[in-house]
């Protein structure tokens, strides 16, 4: 009887170990960081997403965008493979879709170009990003509105009478042709692009990020811009590309640390590496961001992080600003905020384009983002599942399973003993 009890104990211990390892192994996750809210049927748009490998053994993932009126019919979208420049339907082979490579830290921040089929009617649809490694994983769905393209009528060309004229031949000397050098197409620069918020001292397991704000009344595409720390410090600037929607936000996530926790400068540079905006700080606190003060936007202060959303009030301030949309006039912003002073210590900042603020008009449009490479912006889905919540759920599952095993073992032992 003693040997039987030992065998039962060993058997259920092995099962418990296998179950624990399976529960604790987190599957890869994909999150949409930015996407437009309104698109035209058949016109391409760009979606930015972040892929976290977690415990998957695969480092190469294929990605595609899926569009449909419900989760059961996500087959109205097409994905562009930039290497072959081919548009792929939802039923195309996975081997033909764009490849996403995970970096050494198990994260990939990238973007993909999508479009809807021209045959679908206008209306509200769902957008889901699907990646395939050892199996397939989907992001949470986000809502997009697909509109019918506006047709421009072609003007009629009326025939005109050809006058009769006398042909006169004039012989002119042929000039020598000397090639005239033409300048290359310069990179487009924009005003009204600001640093809104920065996380320079993130919590363990998280990453530094910089949030940008577009103070213009139209979306802008920043191609090959940079973020950097203090000038001439030896570190390499981080290059990125993204689209910022009008009056919207996008976030750049850094896979490796760039800023010092004690003091540093955060700088935004255009494609020519000309400084467009910057600010300096003399201290930092883990998990607390530096952001532009919503009550006094000429200074930065410490605040609760509000990644890809309007900034929270500064620590020590008692007034909560109402979210507003700013009207930009002549590439300037004027704050329609309460004049109440901020009591926290501001950080010094500079902006090569002074941005006053103007009147309140309507609720603010928000577009988060976080890139490593080419990224474009719009609205976003944000994953709010905390690692601590996942660990707690796993612990409860393990304890429940262990209790069930012990109860089963006890019943089995009593049956064997009675027999």
User: Can you name the residues that pair with 250 across neighbouring β-strands?
Assistant: 212
**Tell me: the pLDDT tens digits for 98-120?**
998 888 788 988 899 999 999 88
**Tell me: the pLDDT tens digits for 18-75?**
655 554 446 788 899 999 999 999 999 999 999 887 777 788 889 999 999 998 889 9
**Tell me: the pLDDT tens digits for 400-415?**
788 888 888 888 888 7
Sign of the Cα torsion 99, 100, 103, 106 reads negative
Half-sphere exposure of 154 (CA within 13 A, CB side): 3
pLDDT of residue 232: 81
pLDDT of residue 355: 40
Half-sphere exposure of 378 (CA within 13 A, CB side): 20
- Give the mean pLDDT of the chain: 76
Domains of the chain are 29-147 (2.60.40.10), 193-351 (no CATH)
Beta strands in 152-283 (DSSP E): 193-199, 209-214, 220-228, 238-244, 249-253, 264-269, 275-281
Confidence band for 181, pLDDT divided at 50, 70 and 90: very low
Interhelix angle 2-24/387-418, rounded to 10 degrees, is 160
pLDDT of residue 153: 67
Confidence band for 225, pLDDT divided at 50, 70 and 90: very high
Query: How many other β-carbons are positioned within 10 Å of the β-carbon of residue 411?
Result: 10
User: For residue 140, is pLDDT > 80?
Assistant: yes
- Return the H-helix or E-strand segment holding 199: strand 193-199
User: For residue 172, is pLDDT > 70?
Assistant: no
- The CA distance from 374 to 279, in Å, is 25
- The CA distance from 235 to 238, in Å, is 9
pLDDT of residue 44: 94
Span 259-274, average pLDDT: 93
- Longest CA–CA span in the chain (Å) reads 125
Span 378-383, average pLDDT: 38
Span 200-223, average pLDDT: 94
Confidence band for 294, pLDDT divided at 50, 70 and 90: confident
Let me know: does 40 contact 147? Beta carbons within 8 Å. Answer: yes
């Amino acid at each position: 009887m003693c040997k039987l009890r030992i065998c039962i104990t060993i058997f259920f211990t092995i099962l418990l170990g296998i179950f624990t390892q399976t529960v604790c192994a987190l599957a890869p996750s994909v999150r949409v960081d930015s996407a437009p809210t309104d698109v035209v049927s058949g016109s391409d748009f760009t979606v930015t997403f972040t892929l976290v490998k977690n415990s998957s053994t695969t480092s190469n993932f294929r990605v595609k965008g899926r569009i449909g009126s419900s989760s059961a019919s996500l087959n109205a979208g097409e994905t562009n493979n930039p290497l072959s420049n081919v548009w792929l339907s939802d039923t195309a082979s996975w081997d033909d879709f764009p490849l996403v490579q995970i970096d050494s830290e198990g994260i990939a921040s990238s973007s993909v170009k999508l479009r809807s089929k021209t045959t679908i009617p206008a209306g509200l649809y769902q957008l889901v990003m699907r990646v395939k490694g050892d199996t397939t994983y989907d992001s949470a769905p986000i809502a997009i509105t697909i509109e019918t393209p506006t047709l421009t009528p072609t003007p009629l060309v009326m025939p005109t009478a050809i006058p009769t004229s006398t042909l006169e031949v004039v012989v002119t000397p042929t000039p020598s042709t000397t090639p005239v050098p033409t300048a290359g197409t310069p990179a487009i620069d924009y005003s009204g692009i600001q640093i809104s918020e920065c996380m320079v001292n993130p919590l363990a397991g998280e990453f530094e990020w910089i949030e940008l704000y577009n103070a213009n009344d139209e979306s802008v595409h920043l191609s090959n811009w940079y973020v950097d720390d203090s000038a001439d410090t030896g570190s390499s600037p981080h290059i990125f590309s993204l689209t910022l929607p009008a009056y919207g936000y996008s976030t750049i996530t850094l896979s490796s640390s760039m800023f010092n926790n004690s003091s540093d400068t955060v700088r935004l540079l255009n494609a020519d590496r000309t400084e467009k905006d910057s600010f300096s700080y003399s201290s930092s606190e883990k998990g607390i961001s530096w952001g532009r003060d919503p009550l006094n936007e000429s200074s930065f202060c410490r605040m609760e992080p509000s990644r890809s959303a309007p900034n929270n009030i500064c620590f020590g301030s008692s007034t909560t600003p109402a979210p507003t949309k700013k009207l930009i006039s002549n590439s300037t912003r004027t704050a329609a905020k309460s004049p109440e002073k901020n009591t926290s210590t501001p950080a010094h900042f500079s902006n090569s384009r002074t941005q006053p603020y103007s009147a309140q008009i309507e609720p603010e449009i928000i577009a988060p983002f976080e890139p490593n490479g080419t990224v474009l912006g719009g609205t976003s889905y944000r994953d709010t599942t905390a690692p601590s919540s996942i660990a707690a759920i796993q612990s409860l599952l393990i304890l429940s399973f262990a209790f069930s095993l012990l109860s089963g073992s006890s019943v089995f032992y009593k049956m064997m003993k009675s027999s």
